[in-house]
Structure 1
Amino acid sequence: MALKVGLIVGREWSFPPAFIEEVNRRNEGVTAEFVQLGAPRMDDPSEYAVIIDRISHEVPFYRTYLKQAVIQGCTVVNNPFMWTADDKFFGAALATRLGIAHPKTIVLPNKEYIPGIVHDESLRNLKYPLDWEAIVEYIGLPCILKDAHGGGWKDVYVCRTMRELIDNYDQSGLLTMIVQEFIHWDHFIRCICLGQDEILPIKYDPRERKYHVEHAHMGEELGRRVVDDSRKLVRALGYDMNSMEWAVRDGVPYAIDFMNPAPDMDIYSLTPHYFDWVVKHMADMAIDLARNPRPQVRELKWEDLFAGSRHSAEMVGGAAVLGSGSPPPVEAPAEAPTKAPAAPSVTGSGTASSARPAARPAADPGDAPDAVVRAEAEEGHA
C-alpha cells in the first residue's frame, strides 16, 4: 500500500496541483492528495505519513488537528508545536543566542487587554509608565514598530520620532508589539529553506516585492555566511519549510524576517525559474519523510534548545541544540547553492501553467514580506 502525503492549503492555486502531480508522477510508492477533514476523534490514527501544512496559521481548527496527527506518528511540515510557539521577539532572542546578526529588538507590554483584566490588580508585575527615552536610546531612530505575531504588511510602522513611536503604540490595541532597529540596507536576499539543508538564496527587491533571477548577486564570502546562518536558524527552529530575509548592511547580513513557515510558493511571485526548483525539492522532501519517518514527538524537548551559551550550537540528529561546548563548524553541503541554479524547464511538467487566471486570488501563506513597509521600503526594513 502506497504511503500518503496530505496537503492542507488555502487559496493557493499554482503550487498545490503542481506539487501533487510531481509526487504522483514519480511512481515511488508515495502518493499525494488534498487532506479531507470532518470532525476527527482524539484517537483517530492518521492516514498520512506526511502532511504539508500551508494554512493553519489562519485556520485554528487545522492547527488543533495537526498536533493530534503528530501524536499519532504523522510527520507534519512544519511541526505545529513549534509553529504555535514562535514570535518575532523569540526569533530575535534565538538569532542573537546563535551569534547571528539581528536588528536590536525590544518587546512592549500590550496597550490594551481583554475585558476582565483590571490594570491595578491583574497587571501588578508591569512597570508603568514605560521608559520611552531608554527604549529610543537603545533602538535608535528611525525605528520599526510591528506586531510580534503578525505578518503580511499588517500593523507595521516606521517611526522617525519618539512621538510617532508612542502615538502608533497607543493605537496598537490588543497586539503585542516589538520595537526594532531600522536597518538601512544595500542588498536584500530572501532564502527558500527546505528540509533543513536545502538553502536557496535569491536576490529580492522588497520595494517591488519581486524576485530577480540573477546568478551572481553575492560574493563567495557573503553567500556562504547567508547560507550557513540560514541553516543554523532553520535547524534551531526545526522547520522543514521556511523562507528567510536578510538585509545586508556594510557586508553584514542581518536576519530581518525568518519565521515564515508557510512561505510564498506562487509561480508569479517566485518566477517559473524558482517555482520549478521549489516544487521538485518539496516533492523530494515529502517522499523522503514518508519513507524515512522522523518522529516529531522527540523534537518537543525544547529545554535542549534553550540551554547553553550564546554562541554555541551542537548538531544532534539534524536539529540544532545549544550547548556549552565549543561550536562545531557549520558546513554547507556541496549541493547547497550559493548562487541561483540553472534555469529549469517547466514545459510539459505540470509545474507551471501557461494560462493565467482572470483574477489572481490573494495568497494565504504567511510569507507576505513584513520585512519592509510598502511606503518606506526604499529606506530600510519593517
Structure 2
Amino acid sequence: MSTQKKIGILFGQENTFPQAFVDRVNEKQKDFPAEFVSIDQVEQSVPTDYAVIIDRISQDVPFYKAYLKNAALTGTAVINNPFWWSADEKFFNNALAVQLGVPVPKTILLPSKHRPDDTNHNSFRNLQNMNWDGIFNHIGFPAFMKPHSGGGWKNVYKVDNPEEMFRAYDETGQLVMLYQEAIDFTDYVRCYCIGGKEVLIMPYEPRNPHHLRYDSQLKVTGDAGKKLLATIKDYVLKLNHGLGYDFNTVEFAVRDGIPIAIDFCNPAPDADVNSVGQANFDWVVEAAANMAIERAKTAQSGKDNLTWGTFVRNSIGAPAPAKPAKATAAPEVGEPTKEKKPTKAKAAETDKPAKAKAKK
C-alpha cells in the first residue's frame, strides 16, 4: 500500500463527472493524487490508501457500501457518510424538516399493501385499520404516492381520487409508501449543496421535457426574488446540516411565495454535463474538488473523519464534521445558464402520470 494518501471517486455508469472531478483535483494540487477508486482484496479493519472517497454508486452495490464502511472505520473521509446514508429515508427526512422549520408537503406514512416475507396476520397485531377518509381529507387531491425509501422515480404515482389511489396502492406490493399532497407551484428550483456551505440554486421546470428542464428563469424577480433565494439557501443549509450530507441536492416548489422542500435526499445527485448544462457542471466539479482537497488536508489517520448531521450529533454525541460549515452568498436570480441537451434526469413529482391499473 502506498504511503501517500489519495483522493478517490467510486462511481458506476456516469461518464462526465468522475473524470472531470479527478482532472480538476489533480490540477489544483499534488499532495493528494486523485484517481478512480481501485478495489481488490477487502479485509476487515485494514485501511485503504485513500484520505477521501467520493461515493457515487454504493446505493446500488451493497459490496461497495460494506467496503466504504470499513474504509470509514479506518480513517477515510467517505462522502457521503455511508452509515447515515444506509439508514436515511424520505419519511424521516420530512419529519426532520418539520423540526427544523423547513416547509414540506403534508405527508402520511402507509404500511405495505402486502405483508413482508416471513410474516403473517399476527405480525401486525399493533396496526389498526387505516382511516382512509381522514387521510384523504387531510392530504387532498391530487396527491402523490411514492416509496418511503429509495429514489430514481420508481413506483411513483400521481392520483386524482380515491379510486385511483387504491388501484395504485394495489401495485405497490411490499413497499412502505408515502402519501403526500401535490404542490401547485409557480416557481421551482433544484439546489446543489457541497460541503455543507456551498449552494448553487438552479431554476428548474420539472414539467418541461428532460432536455429543457434547466432552461428556466424564476418568475419572481427584484427584491422578492432576492428574498426568496436567501430563504431557499437558508433552508438548503438547514436540511444538509441536519442530515449531515456533504454532497446533495434539494428541490423546492414555490407556492404563494413560500419554498416547500419536495425532495432532499439525493446523496448521489445527477452531475452529468448533458443533464445539468455546462455552467452548472463546471460549478459542481469545482465545488466538489475544493471540498475533497479540504477534507483530505484535515482527515486524521485512524480517526472518524465522517460528517454527522446535527440530529445525530445532538442525539448521541457523535463527532462534529472535520470543518464547520460556513454560509456563502446566495446566487443572483436566474443564475446559472441553461443547457438544451438530452438528459435522463428524473421526472418531476408534479407531472408524473399515475400508474394505476385495476387488479381483480
Fold match, TM over 0.5? yes
The structural deviation recorded for 1:164 is 1.4
- 1:124 equivalent in alignment to 2:125: yes
- The whole-number CA distance in structure 2 between the counterparts of 1:60 and 1:292 is 28
- 1:256 equivalent in alignment to 2:262: yes
- 1:24 equivalent in alignment to 2:7: no
**Amino acid paired to 2:286:** K
Q: From the superposition, tell whether residues 61 and 217 of structure 1 become closer, same or farther in structure 2 (CA, over 3 Å).
A: farther
Structure-1 residue corresponding to 2:331? 337
- The whole-number CA distance in structure 2 between the counterparts of 1:213 and 1:201 is 12
- The whole-number CA distance in structure 1 between the counterparts of 2:85 and 2:144 is 24
- Partner secondary structure for residue 175 of structure 2: coil
Structure-2 residue corresponding to 1:55? 57
Give per-residue Cα distances to partners, 1:38-65, cap 9 Å, x unaligned. Answer: 3411121121000000011111111111
**Amino acid paired to 1:31:** P
The structural deviation recorded for 1:215 is 8.8
- 1:225 equivalent in alignment to 2:231: yes
- 1:281 equivalent in alignment to 2:292: no
- Partner secondary structure for residue 48 of structure 2: coil
Structure-2 residue corresponding to 1:352? none
- The whole-number CA distance in structure 2 between the counterparts of 1:213 and 1:185 is 14
Where do residues 34-183 of structure 1 align in structure 2 (5 Å cutoff)? 34-119=36-121, 121-127=122-128, 129-183=129-183
Structure-1 residue corresponding to 2:308? 299
The structural deviation recorded for 1:193 is 0.7
- The whole-number CA distance in structure 1 between the counterparts of 2:315 and 2:349 is 26
Structure-1 residue corresponding to 2:214? 211
Task: Indicate conservation of the 8 Å contact 2:158/2:353, yes or no.
Answer: no
- Partner secondary structure for residue 205 of structure 1: coil
Q: From the superposition, tell whether residues 186 and 240 of structure 1 become closer, same or farther in structure 2 (CA, over 3 Å).
A: same
Structure-2 residue corresponding to 1:326? none
Alignment RMSD: 2.7
Where do residues 192-211 of structure 1 align in structure 2 (5 Å cutoff)? 192-208=192-208, 209=210, 210-211=213-214
Q: From the superposition, tell whether residues 304 and 48 of structure 1 become closer, same or farther in structure 2 (CA, over 3 Å).
A: closer
- The whole-number CA distance in structure 1 between the counterparts of 2:249 and 2:178 is 21
The structural deviation recorded for 1:167 is 1.8
Task: Indicate conservation of the 8 Å contact 2:57/2:268, yes or no.
Answer: yes
Task: Indicate conservation of the 8 Å contact 1:111/1:174, yes or no.
Answer: yes
Where do residues 301-380 of structure 1 align in structure 2 (5 Å cutoff)? 303-305=312-314, 332-334=327-329, 336-339=330-333, 368-369=346-347, 371-375=349-353
The structural deviation recorded for 1:319 is 7.0
Q: From the superposition, tell whether residues 229 and 275 of structure 1 become closer, same or farther in structure 2 (CA, over 3 Å).
A: same
**Amino acid paired to 1:122:** S
- 1:187 equivalent in alignment to 2:187: yes
- Partner secondary structure for residue 45 of structure 1: coil
The structural deviation recorded for 1:165 is 1.3
- The whole-number CA distance in structure 2 between the counterparts of 1:148 and 1:12 is 25
- The whole-number CA distance in structure 1 between the counterparts of 2:56 and 2:215 is 24
- The whole-number CA distance in structure 1 between the counterparts of 2:311 and 2:201 is 28
The structural deviation recorded for 1:298 is 7.7
**Amino acid paired to 1:286:** A
Task: Indicate conservation of the 8 Å contact 2:308/2:321, yes or no.
Answer: no
Give per-residue Cα distances to partners, 1:227-263, cap 9 Å, x unaligned. Answer: 0000000111111100010000010000000010001
Calculate percent identity across the aligned residue pairs.
40
Q: What TM-score comes out, normalization by structure 1 length? A: 0.81
- The whole-number CA distance in structure 2 between the counterparts of 1:140 and 1:341 is 35
- Partner secondary structure for residue 49 of structure 1: strand
Q: From the superposition, tell whether residues 369 and 245 of structure 1 become closer, same or farther in structure 2 (CA, over 3 Å).
A: farther
Task: Indicate conservation of the 8 Å contact 1:257/1:371, yes or no.
Answer: no
- The whole-number CA distance in structure 1 between the counterparts of 2:106 and 2:336 is 37
Stretch moving more, 37-46 or 13-22 = 37-46
**Amino acid paired to 1:241:** F
Task: Indicate conservation of the 8 Å contact 1:203/1:217, yes or no.
Answer: no
- The whole-number CA distance in structure 2 between the counterparts of 1:319 and 1:27 is 22
Task: Indicate conservation of the 8 Å contact 2:305/2:322, yes or no.
Answer: no
- Partner secondary structure for residue 130 of structure 1: coil
Instruction: Point out where structure 2 has 5 or more consecutive residues left out of the alignment.
Output: 355-360
Structure-2 residue corresponding to 1:310? none
Task: Indicate conservation of the 8 Å contact 2:140/2:181, yes or no.
Answer: yes
* Count of residue pairs the alignment pairs up: 338
**Amino acid paired to 1:270:** V
- Partner secondary structure for residue 116 of structure 2: coil
Q: From the superposition, tell whether residues 248 and 306 of structure 1 become closer, same or farther in structure 2 (CA, over 3 Å).
A: farther
